[in-house]
Structure 1
Amino acid sequence: MIRQADFFLEGDRRGVLLIHGLTGTPMEMRLLGKGLNNAGFTVHGMQLAGHCGDTDDLLATGWRDWYASVEQAADALLAKVDQLFVGGLSMGALLALKLAADRPHQVAGVGVYGATFRYDGWSIPWSARLSFLLPLAKRLGLGRARAFLEQPPYGLRDERLREQVSAAMRSGDSTIAGLLGNPWHSLADLHLLSMQVRRQLPEVVSPCLVAHASDDDVASVRNAELVMRRVSAPAELLLLEDSYHMITIDKQRRTLIEHSARFFDGIAAGRTAPVSVD
């Protein structure tokens, strides 16, 4: 199912499904998508369930709804391509890893971009690091109207782009830059998703490109190191020295595009073989 904010770029029979982050939009994956499409890939930048609307739309969904929309998008893309790659930013990286764990015979490779199992970057206040308490608050019906507001630098080292994104978030048009804050109950679901994907990381046998900002303001490099340690697949680590969390649009996006295209192309051409799941 194609949603309002999705983008689809037709290419060859190699397909890439791109997944944005919590409270984000497909726009944060568009530059990466265009770059991969220029390299020949068919690209679908999907809109997660509950996103690109208002806070009530998001709160009406949880991580199982977000993941169900990923599965639906993967099935739709598989009907058009012979090979499926999946890439996600932040929470989208967790959803991409879960898809790879659940569908080892369908996912040829994974782009793990700024994986966020924990909000432990240098810009995150200590109060926001207590997210492990949020599932309990949600079960008790507490804090539904509460949210952690986004803080500068908004995951962006590029100051010009940071101002544009900040203005877009303040405008109220969530299809461009997403919501201004992260609702407590949605963060509770992110915590539950994080625990689920942690358990499933050893089931990931598709080759992984693990890209992360070395100075990530939102999620420290420890998140990337967790993936590198736990997956049962060949994994390549790409550390970006001149970017913050939003590596798909920040200063080194061209480096990310080049590495992603080369990585996926190598798998498609048989130069990077997946681990056998038999």
Structure 2
Amino acid sequence: MKFPFRGAPGAALDPALVAPMSTPARPELTGGRRIGVLVQHGFTGNPVSMRPWAEDLAARGYAVEMPLLPGHGTHWRDLNKVTWADWVATVEGAYEKLASENDQVVAVGLSMGGALCLRLAADKGDGLAGVCVVNAAVDTLRKDVKLLPLLKLVVPGFPGIANDIKKPGADEHGYPTTPLKAAASMFAGYADLRRDLPKVTIPVLFFRSAEDHVVDISSSRALNAGLSSKDFEERVLADSYHVATLDNDAPRIFAESAEFIERVTQRQQG
């Protein structure tokens, strides 16, 4: 199933709309502790899909770093000029900034952004207090993914995956096209991550939409089988599609992720 891009095909995105977000901690709202949260959007998306969540976290007193991944927020062809390694480096940079300015850090992400947060958890170990992901993508049942190394040489892109949202009128302003070179790099990154999932031992909260037309059940199976965390919980969202952070279950995600952040940072401190 394909979901149409709601903007003009190929149109440049408004820089203000897709701008990154950076806010300082307000320890007076968090019991005197300085807590940072890394907020990460997904593949072909941009901070639009995560801004309401980021703003909710900032209002609770958390420092927020929400970077724009390289190749995103401009034109879809720019995405074919970058790789998984560039996105990993961007996330690590945001983490290092938060870690240098705050007492503890939690990472939250949507789709590929969730995979990047888990990559960070695998690489940084206990440097993170916890990870919360929404419809995290780490695997796929699609057979055509195996053809991407060849297809990317002859076809620049396939129809886009933006706006898999149940709520009427919501728009994530994603790309109208899925760039195949970038997609091939992403799926190679997922394969590496799956091998390293046992390195993730910190608390993980995983929200999964019951109906998701972008990420299939294989990612849930991979996380349940691969993570070593003894504090892992999967919660199913009944009234949202893939971009649940802009969908009907968004208020639930915001509230329950805040409870998770409070719990894991309190526990680490104590």
Q: Same fold (TM over 0.5)?
A: yes
Change (3 A) 1:129 1:253: farther
Matching residue's letter, 2:157: R
- CA distance in structure 2 between the partners assigned to 1:76 and 1:266 by the alignment: 22
C-alpha distance after superposition, 1:154-180 (max 9, x if no partner): 31010222xxx2xxxxxxxxxx61211
* Corresponding residue for residue 16 of structure 1: 37
Q: Is the 8 A contact 1:148 1:182 kept in 2?
A: yes
Percent of residue pairs identical: 30
Q: 1:150 aligns with which of 161, 179, 192?
A: 161
Q: Which of structure 1's runs of 4+ aligned residues deviate more than 3 A?
A: none
User: Which residue pairs with 1:267 in the alignment?
Assistant: 264
The residue number in structure 1 matching 2:146 is: 132
Describe the SS at the equivalent of 1:116: coil
The answer as to 2:19 corresponding to 1:5 is yes
Distance 2:164 2:221 in 1: 19
Aligned to 2:243: 246
Q: Which runs of 5+ in 1 are unaligned?
A: 121-127, 166-175, 274-278
- Residue in structure 1 matched with residue 173 of structure 2 by the alignment: 177
Structure 1 residue 113: Cα displacement: 1.1
User: Is the 2:35–2:62 contact (alpha carbons within 8 Å) kept by the matching residues of 1?
Assistant: yes
> 1:43: Cα distance to partner?
1.2
* Alpha-carbon contact 2:203-2:232 (below 8 Å) kept: yes
User: What amino acid is the match of 1:43?
Assistant: V
Q: What does the per-residue CA deviation read over 1:54-100, in whole Å, with 9 as the maximum and x for residues that have no partner?
A: 12321110111111111111111212111111111101111110000
Tell me, in whole angstroms, the C-alpha distance in 1 between the residues paired with 2:133 and 2:252.
Answer: 15
**2:117 paired residue number:** 96
SS of corresponding position for 1:43: strand
Q: CA deviation at 1:35?
A: 1.6
Corresponding residue number in structure 1 for 2:184: 188
- 1:95-153 Cα distance to aligned partner (Å, 9 max, x none): 11000000003111001210113455xxxxxxx65112202444xx332x2323337xx
TM-score (normalizing by structure 2): 0.85
In structure 2, C-alpha distance between the alignment counterparts of 1:242 and 1:86, rounded to whole Å:
24
CA contact (8 A) 2:161 2:214 kept: no
The letter of the residue matching 1:223 is: S
Contact 1:213 1:244 in 2 (8 A): yes
Among residues 110, 113, 133, which one is paired with 2:131 in the alignment?
110
- Give the secondary structure class of the aligned counterpart of 1:48: coil
Q: Is the 8 A contact 2:112 2:137 kept in 1?
A: yes
Structure 1 residue matching 2:244: 3-state secondary structure: coil
1:214–1:181 CA distance, 2 compared to 1 (3 A)? same
Matched residue SS, 1:34: helix
CA distance in 2: counterparts of 1:5 and 1:129, whole angstroms? 35
Q: Which residues in structure 2 correspond to 1:77-92 (within 5 Å)?
A: 77-92=98-113
Partner of 2:223: 227
Q: CA RMSD in A?
A: 2.1
Displacement of 1:9: 2.7
* Paired residues of 1:214 and 1:221 also in contact (CA < 8 A): no
Indicate the residue corresponding to 2:4 in structure 1: none
**Cα distance in 2 for residues equivalent to 1:26 and 1:68:** 17
